[in-house]
């Protein structure tokens, strides 16, 4: 699904030009080998890729269940990840957890003009994880890693998507008025105001 990323102008919001020592990959399946997949094609011209990220919070958003744009939206605003879901029952019933794989960066490159820029690294070759951590709940894993999770009505999700596309604050004014699951559980609560997250 499409992933929205917006950073308010700040001297701290610069691309990282250093290659990370290792990368993470979130999956609903326990993978001994991660192969290039057609499930998540970023650009048709690139062909099949394996995706990795230096940010475990970002990887945690790809465990399970596989939400799509019809009932959710994902993003990153001022260095804070969020996911907004309009069908809590469906999400919880299909949440079977998953794994976060860690592997070397040896086969990976980063095109900072595409996708999540320096947070998204790709390889055209299969990759063998050096470490695999199993997680029973994707919801808990996301919150443990600081992802802000929201369960909302369909109308709110539609309004948020419209605001992301059309408003200068990229939906922030709506997000700050919602109560996250993190707030309900008092777990890793983060603000979308950039100065609060450093």
pLDDT in tens, the chain (198 residues): 455 655 543 334 455 668 899 999 999 888 889 999 866 677 888 889 999 999 999 999 998 766 667 899 999 998 999 999 999 999 999 999 999 999 999 999 999 998 888 999 999 999 999 999 999 999 999 999 999 999 999 999 999 999 988 878 889 999 999 999 999 999 999 998 754 454
Degrees to nearest 5, angle at CA 151 with 81 and 189: 45
Is 38 exposed, middle or buried, given 0-12, 13-18 or 19+ CB atoms closer than 10 A? exposed
Q: Which domain holds residue 125?
A: 3-197
The residues that bridge with 122 in the sheet, in sequence order, are: 51, 109
pTM of the entire predicted model: 0.86
Residue 102 near residue 131, CB atoms below 8 Å:
yes
User: Is residue 57 within 8 Å of 147, Cβ to Cβ?
Assistant: yes
Cβ within 8 Å of residue 39, ≥6 positions away? none
pLDDT value, residue 17? 64
Region for 185 from its dihedrals, namely left if φ exceeds 0, alpha if ψ lies in -120 to 50, beta otherwise: alpha
How many separate domains does the chain show? Answer: 1
Q: Which tokens belong to 57? A: 């919070």
């Amino acid at each position: 699904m499409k992933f929205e990323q917006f950073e308010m102008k700040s001297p701290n919001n610069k691309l990282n030009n250093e290659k990370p020592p290792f990368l993470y990959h979130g999956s609903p399946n326990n993978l001994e080998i991660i192969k290039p997949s057609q499930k998540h094609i970023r650009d048709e011209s690139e062909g099949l890729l394996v995706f990795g990220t230096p940010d475990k919070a970002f990887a945690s958003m790809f465990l399970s269940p596989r939400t799509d744009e019809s009932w959710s939206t994902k993003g990153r605003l001022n260095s804070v990840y969020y996911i907004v879901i309009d069908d809590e029952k469906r999400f919880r019933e299909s949440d079977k957890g998953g794994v976060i794989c860690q592997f070397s960066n040896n086969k990976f490159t980063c095109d900072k003009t595409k996708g999540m820029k320096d947070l998204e690294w790709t390889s055209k070759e299969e990759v063998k994880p050096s470490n695999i951590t199993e997680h029973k709940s994707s919801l808990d894993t996301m919150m443990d890693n600081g992802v802000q999770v929201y369960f909302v009505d369909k109308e709110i999700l539609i309004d948020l998507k419209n605001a992301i596309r059309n408003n200068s604050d990229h939906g922030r004014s709506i997000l700050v008025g919602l109560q996250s699951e993190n707030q309900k559980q008092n777990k890793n609560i983060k603000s979308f105001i950039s100065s609060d997250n450093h």
